[in-house]
A and B are shown apart, each in its own frame.
Chain A
Amino acid sequence: MSLSDKISARVQAVPRSGIREFFELVLAAGDVISLGVGEPDFCSPWHIREAAIFSLEKGQTSYTSNLGLLELRKSIAKYVAAKFHVQYQPTTEVLVTVGVSEALDLAFRALLNPGEEVIYHEPCYVSYNPSIYMAYGTPVTVETKIEDDFALRASDVEKAITPKTKIIMLNFPTNPTGGVQPKAELEGIADLAKQHDLIVITDEIYSELLYDDREHHSIAALPGMKERTILMHGFSKAFAMTGFRLGYACSPPELTEAMMKVHQYSMLCAPITAQIAAVEALENGAGPVEKMRKAYWHRRNLVVSELNAAGLSCFQPGGAFYAFPEIRSTGLSSREFAQRLLEEEKVAVVPGTAFGTAGEGFVRCCYATDDQNLATALGRIKAFAARHRVS
């Protein structure tokens, strides 16, 4: 008997994540400076950790409501109203999840019938395509391009719409490009969704990390969109709480109820300690968030100017904490670039192809790392690029 034959055809068909593959190479290489992470270098702010510790001391270790602690849902509704300018009912329109990753899985499983299509943009976070596929949906890719600063053109989305299209999936600011979506293009996509009666799922996890006085625009806030949008957000990035694994989805009651069904029978509820910590983050976390945002902003300026000086053309990303330089001047593929940079200079970056085929010719450099490491890594990348320049 071969155990691999027992694996479902659908799971067999999902390739291993390109990031995991690369992760093993990095581990084997030993002492490297890593710009390969997708999380803050800051520890969760102490006031948040302290609130979590205190809740454990008090013995708050039980299940919570399937939807999440009401106190947290109220805080979320207040925060979302202030930041995204959309009002949600904490009792019926907010679902607390184990990260945005779970929220995505819930949404796809709650909405998709086999063969229905989800339009999403690449390069993108590694889970979108497999999550759609494992929920029996059909992923349909639209490329975002460097000449548009990796914004998504409504006209490209329109071309991808078929009678089977059910969902448009957005992620701005974007991992891995740091791209943001101009309001006009967002409005174009909203019009398409209304015209073709589509649901929009929008992962806005990086919305707090915007630079150069940019303002965040959520598609959920556009006229007529709240009733067809699932807005997802979480605590990992802005509040540096990745390990707490906490996110949420805001949507009309029917959609929240449907996602809740899946959540209830799979996850039951998000961990209570994380939920209590999240209340503290929302109520008192604005100061530390701003402090971290400023640090990322300073590093972004440094990284982008140094990469360009190294001859790796890099656009100025408006948000998140990634730079996405083009590496074609070296004549190497993304994969070769990342692998040889690792071997020759002991610096880890992620090949753009880990985020979809549209990422060929680019690598992702996460600048959420301390200033000294960053300076050293940039120095090494410069030396590497100089050695490998073809043109």
Chain B
Amino acid sequence: MDPLLELLQQDARLSAEQLGAQLNRTAEEVAVEIAAKERDGTILGYQAVLDPEKANDTGVLALIEVKVTPERGGGFDRIAERIARFDQVVSCWLMSGGHDLAVVVQGSDLRDVARFVSEKLSSLEGVLSTATHFQLKVYKQNGFLSHASSTGGRLPVSP
């Protein structure tokens, strides 16, 4: 992958100056490239990665396995895009294996997600079945360990 994108994926808050210094490029070059990547949709957005427990996030997250009937001509794309457009859907992926789509749904509580699945998702034309799994605890999120203990213990000076 592009070294600039790699750095941004590790820490999107680095300024163009900081990115430039690390990549031996000027801040202007970096800023222009980032703007271009935002425009062409390579960079979809920027988010903070939170520990839901510490952030006091009382909402629920569910992974829903969905089986669908692919359409002639459109394959899975049309139905997948239709599902993805719902605000409650955080992620939507076409999968190999026992089901077709994996849909990550966020809701305020259990009932909220249940309502979405029964009223919106299951009732869509082409959806054959759903299996809903609720998230219980987060150990690692987007590459970050929650409850990570420090790995310190280095001496302040060594040869």
Report which A residues bind B (CB closer than 8 A).
17, 19, 22-23, 26-27, 32, 34, 36-39, 41-43, 125-127, 175, 294, 298-299, 301-302, 305-306, 348, 350, 371, 375
Binding-face segment, B16-24, B48-56, B124-132: B16-24
**CB contact under 8 A between A34 and B6, given known A302-B18, A302-B21:** no
A sample of 19 more A-B contacts (CB under 8 A), given A37-B154, A37-B157, A38-B158, is A19-B158, A22-B157, A23-B155, A23-B158, A26-B156, A26-B157, A32-B156, A34-B154, A34-B157, A36-B157, A41-B154, A125-B159, A126-B159, A127-B159, A294-B6, A301-B23, A302-B18, A305-B24, A348-B156
Tell me if B158 and A39 are in contact (CB < 8 A): yes
Within 8 A of A (CB), among B13-33: 18, 21-24
In the complex the two chains form, is B21's CB within 8 Å of A37's CB?
Answer: no
Quick one: CB contact mask for B98-135 with A, threshold 8 Å, 1 for yes? 00000000000000000000000000000000000000
**Contact indicator per residue, chain B 144-159, by CB within 8 Å of chain A (1) or not (0):** 0000000100111111
Distance between B93 CB and nearest chain A CB, rounded to angstroms: 24
Interface residue tally of chain B, by bracket?
10 to 19
Contacts of B6 in A (CB 8 A): 294
Contact status A301-B158, CB under 8 Å: no
CA distance A17 to B159 in the complex (A): 9
Residues of B bordering A, CB below 8 Å? 3, 6-7, 11, 18, 21-24, 151, 154-159
Contact B21 A301 (CB under 8 A): yes
Chain A residue nearest in CB terms to B145:
A46
How far in angstroms is the closest Cβ of chain B from A386?
19
**Cα(A22)–Cα(B11), bound, Å:** 34
List residues of chain B with CB within 8 A of the CB of A41: 154
Expressed in whole angstroms, the Cα–Cα distance for A43 and B156 within the complex equals: 15
Complex Cα–Cα for A32 and B154 (A): 13
Query: CA A23 – CA B155 in complex, angstroms?
Result: 9
Q: What are 8 of the A-B contact pairs (CB < 8 Å)? A: A19-B157, A19-B159, A26-B156, A38-B158, A38-B159, A294-B6, A301-B23, A305-B24
Residues from chain A with Cβ under 8 Å of B3 in the complex: 294
Taking a contact as CB atoms under 8 Å apart, the answer to whether A23 and B21 are in contact is no
Q: Is the CB of A34 within 8 A of B159?
A: no
A37 and B158 within 8 A (CB): yes
B156:A23 contact, CB within 8 angstroms: yes
**B156 contacts across to A, CB distance below 8 A:** 23, 26-27, 32, 34, 36-37, 348
The answer to whether A301 and B24 touch (CB under 8 A), given A294-B6, A371-B11, is yes
Most A CB contacts (10 A, CB to CB) among B18, B155, B158 go to B158
CA A132 – CA B10 in complex, angstroms? 45
Task: State A14–B86 Cα separation when bound (angstroms).
Answer: 74
By the criterion CB–CB under 8 Å, are A302 and B159 in contact? no
A43 to B159, CA, bound (A): 18
CB distance from A375 to the nearest CB of B (A): 8
Residue in B7, B18, B23, B157 whose beta carbon sits within 8 Å of that of A348 in the complex: B157
Q: Which 8 pairs between the two chains have the least Cβ-Cβ distance?
A: A298-B22, A36-B157, A43-B151, A23-B157, A34-B156, A302-B21, A26-B156, A38-B158
Q: How far is the CA of A325 from the CA of B111 in the complex (A)?
A: 63
CA distance A6 to B155 in the complex (A): 31
What is the bound-complex CA distance between A296 and B49, given in angstroms? 24
Closest chain-B Cβ to A273's Cβ sits at a distance in Å of: 18
Structural contact, A39 and B154, CB atoms closer than 8 A: yes
CA distance A348 to B156 in the complex (A): 8
